């Protein structure tokens, strides 16, 4: 496919309240370059500015709704007024280029360490031991053992999400996304491999979906549902997540989300396993399944390139496609796709933390070409 003529990827789309000029979305990616107080850094402002394009949509890396919801040093927060002021620099930079930006909000749950939460153990719906690595002041270390939340603690966590959504609004964002994927707190409530509760938040599909739906309602109360999105990973394995019947679980969840009139459902395809590379030849299947259930717009993510992104749009299984790795190394990715230009390779070693190198030093194609000619 050599031309952008008639490509659906470059056709306009109405997403909630917003008119987009194209369907190439910046996916949320944990980059771990915030300031020591969890405020977005000047590097982050430049990172998002570079990747903004007229009529495009960007999603931030996960922002944490409370100090003790963090799982990685270097990930940003949205739980203080200082965070609001710092994020406003990001939204101003993105809006100056004619783009929209949603904040992804996440509680990392059991993927954390006592050093990140005043010495307290990480929290989860239930105690289900697992092993992973989290990033602390001492570098990458094994996660700490978690504890099960008491039912009386849950309303305060939902309130923290709502307060984060309010701060995101003050910071000038265009909407918010609940990170209900990748084995973080909301995802562990939803899936029965990690939710062994026997109270109102466990057992049945209705109960396991309760926490996530309460957060969605809190977000909608602040923003209006048409400026709220939800991200899910029906086949995800990151964070040792699992479900005995993911089709039933995520089908039920998507159907319940229909009642709100959300801006979108953001679906991670199973072709990418955590930080591992694309599973070659694996077709996108999650979006196809959820399209049969969810009535609103769907954003697909997971190892897409230009042609297979166009293909999923043409099939109607998704309305937009989010790109991570290739957007990391090609700040002008929509234009490169539009003109079918070569892509700059990414550097995996710089994904999770570092400085400007392989973060904001990738030139746009035309800038790179001009330098090479000179």
- Could you list the active site residues? 184
Enter the tokens of residue 84: 């609001």
- Write out the H or E segment, with its range, that includes residue 309: helix 306-315
Bridge partners (DSSP) of residue 14 are 19
User: CA-to-CA distance for 164 and 66, rounded, in angstroms?
Assistant: 8
Pairing type for strands 18-20 and 13-15 reads antiparallel
User: CA-to-CA distance for 170 and 63, rounded, in angstroms?
Assistant: 14
Number of CB atoms found within 10 A of residue 323's CB: 24
Enter the tokens of residue 203: 């057992």
Q: What is the DSSP string of 219-281?
A: HHHHH-GGGEEEEE-TT--TTS---S-HHHHHHHHHHHHGGGT-SEEEEE-TTS-TTSPP-TT
Rounded to an integer, what is the distance from CA 102 to the centroid of its chain?
10
Length of the chain: 374
Residue 62's contacts (CB-CB under 8 Å, 6 or more residues apart) are 28, 30, 75, 76, 104, 105, 106, 108, 179, 184
Enter the tokens of residue 214: 């309460």
Bridge partners (DSSP) of residue 77 are 64
Q: What is the DSSP string of 82-107?
A: HHHHHHHHHHHHHHHTT-EEEEEE--
In the structure, how many helices (H) and strands (E) does the chain have? Answer: 12, 14
């Amino acid at each position: 496919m050599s031309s952008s003529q008639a490509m659906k990827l470059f056709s306009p789309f109405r997403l909630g309240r917003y008119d987009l000029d194209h369907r190439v979305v910046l996916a949320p990616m944990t980059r771990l370059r915030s300031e020591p107080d969890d405020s977005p850094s000047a590097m982050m402002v430049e990172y998002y500015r570079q990747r903004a394009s007229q009529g495009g949509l960007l999603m931030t890396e996960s922002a944490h709704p409370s100090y003790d919801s963090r799982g990685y040093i270097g990930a940003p927060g949205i739980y203080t007024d200082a965070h609001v002021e710092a994020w406003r620099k990001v939204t101003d930079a993105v809006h100056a280029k004619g783009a929209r930006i949603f904040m992804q909000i996440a509680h990392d749950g059991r993927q954390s360490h006592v050093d990140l939460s005043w010495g307290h153990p990480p929290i989860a719906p239930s105690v289900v031991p697992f092993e992973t690595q989290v990033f602390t002041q001492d570098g990458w270390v094994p996660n700490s053992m978690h504890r099960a939340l008491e039912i009386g603690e849950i309303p305060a966590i939902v309130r923290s999400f709502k307060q984060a959504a309010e701060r995101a609004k003050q910071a000038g964002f265009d909407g918010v996304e609940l990170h209900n994927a990748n084995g973080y707190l909301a995802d562990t409530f939803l899936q029965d491999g990690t939710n062994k509760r026997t109270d109102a938040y466990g057992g049945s599909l209705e109960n396991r979906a309760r926490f996530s739906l309460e957060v969605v309602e809190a977000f909608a109360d602040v923003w209006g549902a048409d400026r709220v999105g939800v991200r899910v990973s029906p086949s995800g394995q990151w964070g040792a997540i699992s479900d005995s019947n993911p089709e039933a679980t995520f089908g039920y969840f998507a159907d319940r989300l229909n009642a709100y009139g959300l801006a979108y459902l953001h679906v991670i395809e199973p072709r990418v396993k955590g930080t591992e590379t694309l599973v070659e030849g694996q077709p996108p299947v999650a979006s196809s399944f959820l399209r049969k259930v969810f009535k609103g717009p769907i954003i697909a993510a997971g190892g897409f390139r230009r042609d297979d992104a166009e293909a999923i749009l043409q099939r109607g299984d998704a309305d937009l496609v989010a790109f991570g790795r290739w957007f990391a190394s090609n700040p002008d990715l929509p234009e490169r796709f539009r003109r079918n230009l070569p892509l700059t390779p990414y550097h995996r070693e710089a994904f999770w933390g570092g400085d400007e190198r392989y973060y904001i030093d990738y030139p746009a194609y035309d800038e790179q070409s001009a330098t090479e000619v000179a």
